[in-house]
Amino acid sequence: MNGTPAKPRGRPRSFDRDIALERAMEVFWKLGFEGASLHDLTEAMGINPPSLYAAFGDKEHLFLEAVERYQAKHGAACPYTDAATAREAVERLLTYTANEFSKACNPRGCLMVMAAITSSTSSAKLQSALAESRAAGRARLKARIDQGLKDGELPRGTDTGALADFYATILSGMSLQARDGATRKRLLATVAGAMRAWPDRPARASKRLTQKPVASPRM
């Protein structure tokens, strides 16, 4: 045997993989996993099926890469956990989401929500990956609310898990509203209503004013 490396088989890739993935993400975002056909994907990506399989493996692997790209580009773009209080953090997340969901330049709603409702026939591996991704987002939200409870921003005994579930449900509902054509104004109204459900901040113990006893009138 000689030390000359074997030449790669097949023709060299003639497309930009990053651009192709971006376009695939937009197709999945608009149509969902099951709704996006191979023809839809290859036409948008500007490649043929053999090139798609060679570069991404199959539709499920392409979808998972598209989900990762979506989360990195859109989900991580809102540093809501940096807000001064847990309430401000949640309101920032909801407001950012309302704006994103209603942008004319994007497909309406959230790719992750679309993934949840349009991948019922996908493999157990894909279902598990999506469930882990949703769980990670919920855990991040709960952790910020937990910090708020620790800092005394919430009443003692607040169920932070239930609170995280509530606002995660609001986010999913806003996505469906956006898919149905809800305007930015309407989504922000939903945000305002959701924030009115935030538990009242515990009142600080007030200093009692010492008052001189009032003398009873002499009879």
Both 66 and 85 in one domain: the answer is no
- The pLDDT value given to residue 86: 96
Residue 23 lies in a domain: yes
Residue 207 lies in a domain: no
Both 99 and 151 in one domain: the answer is yes
**Full residue range of the structural domain in which residue 61 is found:** 15-73
Residue 208 lies in a domain: no
Both 84 and 32 in one domain: the answer is no
Both 66 and 83 in one domain: the answer is no
Q: Report pLDDT digits (tens) over 117-176.
A: 766 666 788 888 888 888 988 999 999 999 999 999 999 999 999 999 999 999 999 999
Helices (H), the chain: 17-35, 38-45, 49-56, 59-73, 86-101, 111-117, 124-150, 160-179, 184-195
DSSP state of 157: T
Residue 203 lies in a domain: no
Residue 217 lies in a domain: no
Q: Report pLDDT digits (tens) over 61-105.
A: 999 999 889 888 876 667 788 899 999 999 999 999 999 888 888
Q: What gap in Å lies between CA 144 and CA 86, rounded to an integer? A: 6
**Prediction pTM value:** 0.77
Q: What gap in Å lies between CA 103 and CA 77, rounded to an integer? A: 15
Number of domains in the chain: 2
Q: Which of 50, 73, 96 is the last residue of a domain?
A: 73
Which two three-digit tokens encode residue 68?
């990762």
Q: Report pLDDT digits (tens) over 8-56.
A: 444 445 779 999 999 999 999 988 888 899 999 999 999 999 999 999 9
Both 114 and 176 in one domain: the answer is yes
